[in-house]
Chain A
Amino acid sequence: GEDVEQSLFLSVREGDSSVINCTYTDSSSTYLYWYKQEPGAGLQLLTYIFSNMDMKQDQRLTVLLNKKDKHLSLRIADTQTGDSAIYFCAEIYNQGGKLIFGQGTELSVKP
């Protein structure tokens, strides 16, 4: 079955880098996603990576994908207090279009 796992909490100081990790089980996933959710709001797509890529960089965000270990990470450089939110990784399950989400990692940024 499908399963995506994340650590639940991460606390960093403003200006530091944050690294949020995720593991998944469906090796046939073509795309893997990172979403951000602020309190009471929907999900904002941050970035996604195609499964034949190892890395993708988009401004302060760097996504690393290790297909062998089925491990995905999101690095946020120069983390700001406005980055405090819950971050979800997700994979497309069985290429059917539905997304399977991890539990979400709550990022707390302290000034």
Chain B
Amino acid sequence: GAVVSQHPSRVICKSGTSVKIECRSLDFQATTMFWYRQFPKQSLMLMATSNEGSKATYEQGVEKDKFLINHASLTLSTLTVTSAHPEDSSFYICSAREIAQGTEAFFGQGTRLTVV
């Protein structure tokens, strides 16, 4: 299947700093990428839909100024957690859909963010 690479896999940062997470589709082009957040032992909650060349669509309750999304190309979307706080500690996962296929969503390996 198609490969989605997410980087970094783990990051520890201090409160008040910002962290950028990258999501790349390695062997296909994706006009749409999705960012999810997962708390321990819980399901994935969609945070936002990232569209190449346009503004991201955020789900209700997700602060767009805190979770900045940039989808500058057909193979790269970034999520920046700004002014991180301990409550932002979580597992963040991206997924991407091929333009042509549209049926399967492939997921990155996830990023474990710990804010201390």
Contact = CB atoms under 8 A, between A and B. Distances in A.
Interface of A: 31, 33, 35, 40-45, 48, 50, 88, 96-104
B108 A45 contact: no
Interface string B83-116: 0000000000101010000111111111010000
A97 B97 contact: yes
Size bin of chain B's contact surface:
20 to 34
A104 B43 contact: yes
Contact of B49 (A98, A102, A103, A104): A98
Interface of B: 1, 6, 32, 34, 42-44, 46, 49, 93, 95, 97, 102-110, 112
Contacts of B34: 97-99
Given A88-B43, A102-B43, A31 B107 contact: no
A33 B49 CA distance: 19
Contacts of A101: 43-44
